[in-house]
Chains A and B, each alone.
Chain A
Amino acid sequence: GQQVMQIPQYQHVQEGEDFTTYCNSSTTLSNIQWYKQRPGGHPVFLIQLVKSGEVKKQKRLTFQFGEAKKNSSLHITATQTTDVGTYFCAGIELYNFNKFYFGSGTKLNVKP
């Protein structure tokens, strides 16, 4: 079945260092969404990428969608302690916009 793999599972960085998490789908996606879950919280939507090769920025966060619409990445520049949490990608199936395939998440810890 369709799968979305996400790496790394954990990342520990010093405040100010950069961070990247990657997602790869076994099949072509319609679009991909990214969510952030703070410790003890619930997933909160960050952004959606729809077009092949799309790049979007939100302040220090840069999101990319691959040309084949099968992979995506989230890059955080100069991490801050407020970035702590787990970042999930969710690939949306090509022909069923309600079918979300979540990656297993990358847990980011930032040391001050």
Chain B
Amino acid sequence: DAEITQSPRHKITETGRQVTLACHQTWNHNNMFWYRQDLGHGLRLIHYSYGVHDTNKGEVSDGYSVSRSNTEDLPLTLESAASSQTSVYFCASRGQGNTGELFFGEGSRLTVL
């Protein structure tokens, strides 16, 4: 079965370190997204991609970057982790068309000390 997987599921890091969260999907979806989830804020979009070599900033993109070198993967990098980036991160993918739903990964819980 097609799926979307994230790794690591849990990570603790220190302020200032670079962190990369991996996201891999096997649906061959062009559209991929990264969200962060914090209490009281719901899901906020960090970055998204509509295809290989395409990346776009979402509403909370400062301090994050993504790259899309193939269809399956959209890694999220925190260049210099800050305590404000402690959160649960969800990757999602979606097929083409105007009515497809988002398929979410299981999430990556990141703690920045």
Q: Closest residue of chain B to A41, judged by CB?
A: B106
Main SS at interface, chain A: strand
Q: Closest residue of chain A to B6, judged by CB?
A: A42
Interface residues of A, CB < 8 Å — how many?
24
Main SS at interface, chain B: strand
Min CB gap A69→B, angstroms: 13
B104/A43 in contact, CB under 8 A? yes
Interface stretch, picked from B11-19, B20-28, B70-78, B94-102, is B94-102
Give residues 71-99 of A contacting B (CB, 8 Å). 88, 90, 92, 97-98
B99/A48 in contact, CB under 8 A? yes
User: Would you call A68 an interface residue if the criterion is a C-beta within 8 Å of the partner chain's C-beta atoms?
Assistant: no
0/1 per residue, B31-72, Cβ < 8 Å to A? 101010000111111001010000000010000000000000
Give A residues with C-beta under 8 Å from B. 1, 6, 9, 30-31, 33, 35, 41-45, 48, 50, 88, 90, 92, 97-98, 100, 102-105
